Amino acid sequence: MCSVNTSSSNRTAWAAFWVGLAGLVLMPIPLFIGLILGGGLSLVAAVLAVIALLKGLSRQGKGIAPVVFAGIFVALTWAGISAGGGIIW
């Protein structure tokens, strides 16, 4: 009997989701700590989201929802940083 080990979820998409969420949560820390932590994590999440999106599109859309939310988290983090989050707040 042949068993095929196929993953039912896109692990890269979920990694992008959680890293993006962590970046969004850590971004408001003042005195450049949030800029370094939140900004760095959001850059990692953006790269993971692109990889997960390409992976999900090749797997008939598997794991696209976490990628969309990760992109939203990254966009909110970058908008918060551009408004002074992590630097002034």
Residue 61 lies inside a defined structural domain of this protein: yes
Q: How many other CB atoms are found less than 10 A from the CB of residue 31?
A: 11
Residue 4 lies inside a defined structural domain of this protein: no
What is the pTM (predicted TM-score) of this model?
A: 0.85
Domain tally, the chain: 1
Residue 30 lies inside a defined structural domain of this protein: yes
Range of the domain at 61: 11-82
Q: 11-52 pLDDT, tens per residue?
A: 999 999 999 999 999 999 888 888 899 999 999 999 999 999
Residue 2 lies inside a defined structural domain of this protein: no
Residue 5 lies inside a defined structural domain of this protein: no
Residue 33 lies inside a defined structural domain of this protein: yes
Mean pLDDT for the chain?
Answer: 88
Residue 88 lies inside a defined structural domain of this protein: no
CA dihedral sign, ordered 17, 18, 21, 27: negative
